[in-house]
Amino acid sequence: MTAAGDQQRVMVLGGTGFLGRHLRAAFRSAGAHVVSVSRALPDDAAGDGSPDERFVALDLTAASPRELRDLCADTDPDVVVNAAGAVWKVTEEQMRRANAELVASVVAALSGLPRGPRLIQLGSVHEYGPGTRRGGLHEEGPEAPVTAYGRGKLAASRSVLAAASLDGVVLRMANIIGPGMPTGSLLGDVAAHLERYATDPGATDAELAFPPLRAERDFVDVRDVVDAVLAVAHAPRAAVSGRVINIGSGRAVRAGEVVERLIALSGLPVRLVERAADGATGTAVDRQKLDISRARRLLGWEPRRDLDTSLSGLVALSPA
C-alpha cells in the first residue's frame, strides 16, 4: 500500500466509537499517521502534541460526497477504514442513513480521487440473516438479512463491491465484544448492570431478567478484529480487493450461556432469569456461525483470544 519506509496514512471514520478507538490506537502503535473523523472531537483531541494523529469534527451522515472528497484530498490517506454506523438506540431511518447512505457517499467521494485509497468497510454477520444449523456462513453463501441493521449493512457492502474502480474490501464481522463495549448491546447492558451492582449492591437488583436468550451467536474479540483490519491494510491488492472476508471465532454459543459466563467472571451474586412471554414458542432457527477459512488463507489471520478473555475485558470489577 505504501513504499518501503514510508509512513502509512490511515483515516478512521467513526474514530471515537467503540471499535474506532481500538483501531486508532493500533494503527498508531504500528507507526501509521491517523486521521480520526467523528461528529464531535473527543475530550483528549489535543492529545500529547504528537504529529501522528489528527482529529476532524464532521457529521458523516450529513456530509456530501464533495465534502468527503475534499477531506480525503486534504489528508491523502493510503487507507480509509469505515468504523462509523448505527446499531443501537436509533430509529430505522437513522440506521439507514448511518449504515447505507453514508457508505454510498464515501464510495462516491473515493471513486472521484486521482489516487484512491483502500477502503475497508466493516460489515456484519447480520447481512447473512439468522443462519442455519448447517455448517458456517460462507462469503459466497446467500444473503438474507431480517433486520434493518442487516439490510443497511448489506446495502453498504454492495456499494463498496460494485465500485469497479475502488480498492474496496468488506470485512463481515461477528458480534464484537471486549474492553470498552458500550451499553445498548446485550452484553454491554449486562456489564453496566454488574458495574452498578459492584458499586452499590443495595440499590441494584441481583436478578437480571430477559426473555429466553436462545439465539446462538459467533462472538469475536475487538482486538482480534483490529488485527484483521491491520492485516487487510497491508495486504496486496490482488489478494483482497473486491472481496468479502468473514472475521469471527468460527463457533456459535447460546447467548444465555455467554451472559451466565459474564456474570460468573464478575464474581458477583447476580442471577440470570430467562422468562418466556405468554404464548411465546421461540422455535425459529437463529444460529450464526461464520466460516473464517478465507481470512486464514488470504490474511494469515485467526482469532487469538478466547471467549473468557473477551468477557473478562468487560467486567474488570472489584466485587463489593
Active site residues: 149
Give residue 89's region: left, alpha or beta (phi > 0; psi -120 to 50): left
DSSP string, 70-109: HHHHHH--SEEEE-----SSS-HHHHHIIIIIHHHHHHHH
What span, in angstroms and rounded, lies between the C-alpha atoms of 131 and 117?
33
**Closest of 112, 144, 103, 115 to residue 127, by C-alpha:** 144
Secondary element (H or E) of residue 123: strand 118-124
- 214: Cβ–Cβ under 8 A, 6 or more apart, which residues? 254, 255, 256, 282, 286
